[in-house]
Structure 1
């Protein structure tokens, strides 16, 4: 058995990830610092910086469609230019991401301090006035730095335990932030004064270039999405399109906001929190609070994503034998790269304590430019060799002039920086090369381009074989997918197989048993997919044993993903699955408030879905169907139940509950309805109508003799279903037998009134 990697990031997810990584320091921190360098020409500095990013973005897009794998720029450079350049790129990107995370945390706490302008938050002054002086007076740690370090430690813990990041949360954050910033622009752009742009080039070309180098880190996130290229569906379209859209939109937003800041509020030069200062002056306390909230959302999210992404680089270097082996350690409980995360967090804390905001920003920009230069050079290396396997779906226009421009302009911008970032960029280049020569060179046996691909390509072929094996199926067969999580027991798997077998036996087809292994976002998918654990081998052997007595075809596989529900639905779409038969744990009503994976699957699955609760292997003699006059779910329940009863020699029973005072006309209608359903069956059917004012209690009593119970289920509406629980949920909770909750792909999701109407009819 091999493992496949799940691609579940669409175009909007790519845009949200890229923009979410960019919209942060570029808006909330750097404009004031850049104004001090370039004056009003800071507007032009953001445009030039965006242009300088384009060659690297286009190169990343091409390389990402040719090699859609985890690692992004590090992998591309290591493959194209060899492990020595890969070592420099990996270390440089790691440092750049840590600096960007530190910048976001420091900036976020500066915005917290801006709240002291609001009387309600004046107590913050006391906290921010705290300071710690280290022995000898070498270092004074201020209140904002203490808060930033505290938050950094919390984020490290969050990443260490593998708390999941969600594309939906990132999208919501981007939308909220764009909304707040749009209101700011709309309310202030009419107040722009042309006089504020007098002396546009007052600081000259040197100031403009210095500001460009400073704000270039604002666009660092545009290529971040390449690090998760293996998770992007249709990367040939979504990767380049997502990168370009996010770059264009973000550049327009940056230029518009900086134009407004320069034109409306003079005197922001050197401000660490320019948006807060501008809003406080123009709109007052209420909008100041909103801007601070938006800044914290953006900057904390950027810092958290920085820690998550940065920790992947020492892990990747270690796996490629270019760095210390201990960085490859995965925590056995949390399944996260513990050493890499702790080291990343520790360095971020040191950066916060030692450097100021401007130094951090300029240093991060220098390392980013260094990586951009190497990416452009790597693309040239790939293009200039005749490699049969190099077949990108997206080809960079203007080759090689675009890449040469990226290299030359990058080198030129670095020379225009201050001494600290130049020393840092040169230093990491020398250190990386020396590290490779004296530590890693004897540990690797590969060169650049196609020579060193054996280890990765073996792993990728190992994955591709699974995809081809699992997805190849005749179009006229009935496919039942049984998705399993890692913690499934032998008994639970056996019960699901024996429920699916009669259905496949009736329709002719196969069962696909796929274990969906969800790993934390902190772990690249290929890391989890390249090795078989004892649990993987045990699962394969156990499944082989379970299917021996089944007279239907069964295929077994495993898929690794960061989001199981997306992986299940995507696999069902790719393989034309007709029915998903999955376990469902009994959940509390509170779980509805936070959203259930089962609801998401029902909403998005391209096929019928059946969830099994209280699954267990039983001797089936009686299959009871609770009918509800659903035009889609009832026929599906009958079809599935009849197949089971026919195969197992069981009998069927239709059960319907009516109020105690139900008129005879209603009883006759139900009897006629059951007779119509009876015509669909090949086995004898019994019809039972239960008169009760306690629907759940009456039905549960009547169902005590059943071996399997079938119910309809619908997707939950969060607030209404939290207040009024679905009948199927209440009934499934009190029935002790195995319960099949059936959802037809043709059934429509009801309105928020559905659970209320159901309850009122009987209560």
Structure 2
């Protein structure tokens, strides 16, 4: 049985990942350092740096659509130029990401430390200076580094949603900053624009190149992007364009509102500019300056700390990938059995970052990171040329770089030129990584591998790519009724059987099939292709178990496994691709407090392209009566009746409708409910009974009336977090009060119309 990888990153996620990795040191740390190199012309350095990144970004986009695989630039270079260049690219990218993470971590601490330098009257905390000593910036950076190492070791999950929210918050804060300060730009600050000459501009360009390192970071998760032919190139283009414009605009403002010497002397230029401009601003008694500085510090810390944590996460993947390709020490391939994270790779990466933060200055970190970055970009452009010129039949990217090969040649030549304009340390560092990569490959790896660039290295990958394409073709929708049963890794045989006993009669009646899919969720720290290539004991047990179930079910059953970083997203995506009509999943009873943090079941209900039902409690042997608790919901009730009738018809069971009213309910209401049940009865092909439960406690009354039933059908709607903390859904209370197998049904039609629908249904029918 083969495991597929789930593509669950859309266009907005691609933009958020790319921009989230770029909006950081470039604006919050480097403008002052770059100002010392180029003077007021520093804005040109940011623009030139963005232009130099374009060839590599285009090349990454094309290669990513031709080979949407986890690994990104390292994979492309290793498969295109051969394992020797791949070794250089892997080591160079690893070092670049560690340096970028160190820069963000170190720089972020300047902003935290900036809080301690503010006057106590501005903060409104009179006892601050007397109770807290000012910590060292390096000490803060090392402390946060240790925290992030621990976070990545235990595999604490990062989500695209959090990343997207952080990007939006940063953009809003930076937009407000520009709007409030651009009118205060002083043109006199731009006098002597070219005083530092072309050498100063080129030196600053080399310094700020690291600002755009994140534009190709998303290529490392290319295999997880849905519709990569569109989303990858478009996401890269949008993120690079928006970020370059934002950088230019913010640098224009910073240079225009701050004295050049003062800007060059500070590693927290955004906070310093905000303090200078708004320190004395008070509106209606509110210290606007305090709020403005706090907002900028919040944006800086969000950007830089997020980048630093992502730096450890992403950088640790490279020694892992090198090790798996037999190009590096095998111990880096070790995956912790409990946390499923690459322990050795993370610890080594974290230790190097701690060393960099403890010993290097901001400008040294930025320049060395830029040197390694441009080296990798040169190799990426070379890899694209290698693929194109080999004229491989299978190489058919959905996006092709405009202006080939001139764009790539420009990227190679401009990259070499920029490296020659760097300081001696960066030039020596670039040469050393190339020499070390070649020596290491010859000494350690050459005898361990048997592949040569595009000719052999991609044969295995291409076969896997073809399998995925064949699988997706097989999943095209047809006219049969299909139930998707998603299973998590910890599912038991009894829980699986309970779902199948519910699904089999429905499929037999409707004439369709069941897809049983196990969804393996792995930490973000681990590339998806690692667990996809390995079958654990649990995988083999699942395969044997599903083989057994096919023998006793009288319906077609297809079995598969999907590896993803986000199970709920993977379930919805698979349901859409396969054309499922119903998702039937297991649901554990959860506390009301769980709704505050959001439930996966609610997210699936909100986004699934089909009907959804959740089974609670274990199935019984022998089903004689199926109870449908009606609530006059216009979509859920018909769906419950349809499913109950199908099950009852195949199993030879009867159906009973139940509705709860108060003990003093008027006869007119009872007659209305009876007429409603008669209308529902017309949808059934099996005998139906109708029961009106009179009780002032609807949950208690229904629970008692349901004691004779073998299966209970209830409606469910999306939990609304805070409202559900106050008033629990009636269906949840009933399901918790009974022991019978319960199917909580949610029709896809309930998502249409006003967001008030679930609230109205709860108020009117509970």
Q: TM-score, normalised by structure 1?
A: 0.96
Deviation at 1:472, TM superposition (A): 5.0
Correspondent of 1:280 among 261, 275, 279: 275
CA contact (8 A) 1:727 1:758 kept: no
CA contact (8 A) 1:717 1:752 kept: no
Per-residue deviation, residues 41-60 of structure 1 (Å, max 9, x unmatched): 00111000000000100011
SS in structure 2 at match of 1:629? coil
Partner residue of 2:567?
Answer: 564
Partner residue of 1:385?
Answer: 390
Partner residue of 1:201?
Answer: 194
Correspondent of 2:352 among 327, 347, 351: 347
1:362 aligns with 2:355: no
Distance 1:124 1:319, change over 3 A: farther
SS in structure 1 at match of 2:68? coil
Per-residue deviation, residues 326-383 of structure 1 (Å, max 9, x unmatched): 1111111111111111111111001111101111111111110110011011111111
1:205-354 superposed matches below 5 A: 205-266=198-259, 267-283=262-278, 284-354=289-359
Partner residue of 2:26?
Answer: 26
Deviation at 1:618, TM superposition (A): 3.0
Per-residue deviation, residues 243-284 of structure 1 (Å, max 9, x unmatched): 000000000000000000001111211310000100111122
Partner residue of 1:547?
Answer: 550
SS in structure 2 at match of 1:552? coil
Deviation at 1:718, TM superposition (A): 1.7
Per-residue deviation, residues 302-346 of structure 1 (Å, max 9, x unmatched): 011111111110110000000000111111111111111111111
Deviation at 1:543, TM superposition (A): 0.9
1:596 and 1:643 mapped to 2: Cα distance?
29
**Structure 1 stretches lacking a partner, 5+ long:** 131-142
CA contact (8 A) 2:717 2:758 kept: no
Partner residue of 1:598?
Answer: 601
Deviation at 1:507, TM superposition (A): 0.7
SS in structure 1 at match of 2:604? helix
Per-residue deviation, residues 550-592 of structure 1 (Å, max 9, x unmatched): 1110000011111111111111111111111111111111111
Partner residue of 2:734?
Answer: 731
Partner residue of 2:285?
Answer: none
Deviation at 1:106, TM superposition (A): 0.6
Distance 1:76 1:92, change over 3 A: same
Partner residue of 1:47?
Answer: 47
1:421 aligns with 2:426: yes
Distance 1:353 1:330, change over 3 A: same
Correspondent of 1:153 among 127, 146, 164: 146
Distance 1:219 1:109, change over 3 A: same
Partner residue of 2:484?
Answer: 481
Structure 1, 531-540 or 23-32: larger mean CA deviation: 531-540
1:170 aligns with 2:160: no
1:662 and 1:155 mapped to 2: Cα distance?
60
**Structure 2 stretches lacking a partner, 5+ long:** 279-288
2:163 and 2:294 mapped to 1: Cα distance?
21
1:728 and 1:749 mapped to 2: Cα distance?
21
Partner residue of 2:281?
Answer: none
Q: TM-score, normalised by structure 2?
A: 0.95
Deviation at 1:696, TM superposition (A): 1.1
SS in structure 2 at match of 1:100? helix
1:682 aligns with 2:685: yes
1:107 aligns with 2:107: yes
Distance 1:723 1:513, change over 3 A: same
Partner residue of 1:501?
Answer: 504
SS in structure 2 at match of 1:710? strand
Distance 1:184 1:507, change over 3 A: same
Partner residue of 1:180?
Answer: 173
Structure 1, 522-531 or 749-758: larger mean CA deviation: 749-758
1:486 and 1:226 mapped to 2: Cα distance?
28
Distance 1:732 1:328, change over 3 A: same
Per-residue deviation, residues 653-685 of structure 1 (Å, max 9, x unmatched): 111001121100000000111111111111111
Per-residue deviation, residues 713-744 of structure 1 (Å, max 9, x unmatched): 11111221222111111111112111100011
Per-residue deviation, residues 135-156 of structure 1 (Å, max 9, x unmatched): xxxxxxxx21111111111111
SS in structure 1 at match of 2:626? strand
1:446-461 superposed matches below 5 A: 446-461=451-466
Partner residue of 1:135?
Answer: none
1:75 aligns with 2:75: yes
Distance 1:118 1:656, change over 3 A: farther
CA contact (8 A) 2:501 2:619 kept: no
1:436 and 1:126 mapped to 2: Cα distance?
55
1:658 and 1:70 mapped to 2: Cα distance?
57
